[in-house]
Amino acid sequence: MNLDMQFVLGALAIGVGLVLAFVQVNARRLGKNSPVNSGLPLYRFTWYRLVLALLSLAVGVLIIVDAMGTGPV
């Protein structure tokens, strides 16, 4: 795989992980502040989104570290 493509894919994976993490934080805040349907969670399976965010961040970091280690000789 091309070195530039690895950096792009790594940055994309990190970006997706950060977006999923921020959606998790905002969902909790909105769920606490929302008087309408306060018993019904805003997003179900929040632990699932958190695991996906952490997994995406880890994969993105691994891709970037691998790209940095396989530079031109």
Residues 16-42 pLDDT 10s: 998 888 775 555 666 566 566 555 554
Domain layout of the chain by residue ranges: 3-69
- Which of 16-25, 49-58, 62-71 shows the lowest mean pLDDT across its residues? 16-25
Q: How far is CA 5 from the centre of its chain?
A: 19
Q: How far apart are CA 2 and CA 8, in angstroms?
A: 10
What separation in angstroms does the CA of 62 have from each of 18, 20, 49? 15, 18, 20
Question: Distance (Å, rounded) from C-alpha 25 to C-alpha 55?
Answer: 17
Q: What is the dihedral of CA 32, 36, 39, 45, to 10 degrees?
A: -70
The model scores a pTM over 0.85: no
